[in-house]
Amino acid sequence: MRNFKLYPGTLIEKLSWGSMLLFSISILLPENYRNIPLFMLLLTALLGLKSKTPSKAGLRIFIVNGMLYLILALSLLYTGDLADGFKRITVMASIGILPFALYAVNGNKVLSNKRLEMVFYWSFLVSVVIFYLGVFVFTFSKGFLNSTIFEHFTERLNSTLGKYSLHPLYASLYICISICLSVHVFTQSTKRAQKLFLILCMLFLTLVLLMLARKGAIFFMLILAMAYFFIKLRKTRYSYIFVATALLGLIFSYYIEPIRLRYVEFFQSFFTTNVSDPGSTSFRLNVYKCALKSIFESPIFGYGLGDTKHILTSCYVQQQNMFSGLYFNSHNQFLSVWLAAGIFGFLALVYMMYSNIQLALKSKSFLHASVIVLFLGFLMIENILERQDGVILFSFFINFFAFKNLKHKPTVEKNTYNRAIS
């Protein structure tokens, strides 16, 4: 580290970089402190706003990525449950804050600094690895490291870690992003020790992902892995490592019964005639039916952000044998937005994702495209914009890559990040 200065720029640039570095380690912070980097970045953006040079391309990203939040906020004007609406719009604040903050920060070229970019990736990856190593240490200290670890791992992660507890879906999202970052850093690295360390990190995170047994997350990663293999890896010596890792993952999943049963249930749900089977996939199919039924009854403006819970609950009451009086969200962010803000909210989210996919393709960055595909997949299976862990990850990375890949001259040449961590 003796050759690395944090960032030899202005105070605003240092604050911008410090905020993003703090975000990269946010998984190590208690849940109620994980939004601190968000407000630090907002404060930095406000302090440096006068020096911001307007950019048409940057302004377009700001509008496209921030429009959804504005439409959702406007839906509060006609919602019945204003208290719940304000609570939800507050949780989703990063959808509105981060497009503005990174639009302002982008003017000081921090996002286009290749060395800082790589340090950010390393910091995020190592923080996630440390977090899950800590989970295993905690599991061992409590005597849970036994034959039931695979059966109860997700439950313990979700409920026994206090303010460090993490829902399995968002836990898998952190892992998926970390694996994508580690692959990118691996391809840029020139040092054997770093490559070995990255391989170990990827294997460890893959193991944890399999233990979490989130079907959607694993499916999306398999799609990205196959795409990476055929686009970039097929004719290289690392293809053997890829194939061996994939086979080990399949063997591991097959012989661990709790994990295997998750996938058996998934495939059975498509062939069973009893859609009231209380398996998770069957539940989703019934939830989607209720959500679509409600959408068709008010497709233009929706019901307002505060009323979607009441609308879905009224549908669930009619299916007591399936839902037993319990509430489930729509498990699809596109449907949830349509319920809350009508066709305008739905189109705003669709256009946001479409525009960011276009940006990823134009940037010719497999990492950028991979992260967008990941988020698109997670939006299809869960309301990730309505939980703090999901919405901050989504908002930061969507805007980070969008603004980073604007046409700026790189400040550091390729592979010089090695000096930053030597």
DSSP secondary structure letter of residue 411: S
Predicted local confidence at residue 197, as pLDDT: 96
Residues of the chain with pLDDT > 70, as a percent, come to 78
pLDDT of residue 411: 42
> Across all residues in the chain, what is the average pLDDT?
82
**DSSP per position, 136-192:** HHHHHHTT--STTHHHHHHHHHHHSSGGG---HHHHHHHHHHHHHHHHHHHHH---H
pLDDT digits (tens, 9 = 90+) for 206-229: 989 988 878 888 888 888 888 887
Range of lowest pLDDT (91-95, 135-139, 286-290, 354-358): 135-139
Share of the chain above pLDDT 90, in %: 45
pLDDT of 364-421, one tens digit each?
A: 889 999 999 999 999 999 999 999 999 999 999 999 999 988 754 444 434 444 444 4
Tokens of residue 30, six digits = 């208690």
When pLDDT is averaged across residues 223-243 and rounded to a whole number, the result is: 71
Is pLDDT at 306 greater than 50 in this prediction? yes
Higher pLDDT, 145 or 32: 32
pLDDT value of residue 301: 95
Interval 318-346 mean pLDDT: 87
Cα–Cα dist 287/328, whole Å:
7
Q: Determine the distance from the C-alpha atom of residue 404 to the mean position of all C-alpha atoms in its chain, rounded to a whole number.
A: 18
Query: Could you report the per-residue pLDDT of 63-100, keeping only the tens digit for each?
Result: 999 999 999 999 999 999 999 999 999 999 999 999 99
3-state secondary structure of 213: coil
Ranking 58-62, 303-307, 321-325 by mean pLDDT, the lowest is 321-325
Q: Which residue has the higher pLDDT, 106 or 396?
A: 396
What does the DSSP assignment read for 320-333? HHHHTT-----S-H
Average pLDDT on 283-302 reads: 90
- Three-class secondary structure of residue 328 per DSSP: coil
Q: What is the pTM of this model?
A: 0.86
Tokens of 118: 């790589």
| Confidence (pLDDT) at 421 | 45
Of 42, 54, 46, 13, give the one whose Cα is nearest residue 399.
Answer: 42
Per-residue confidence (pLDDT) for residue 48, from 0 to 100? 73
- What is the mean predicted confidence (pLDDT) over 348-355? 97
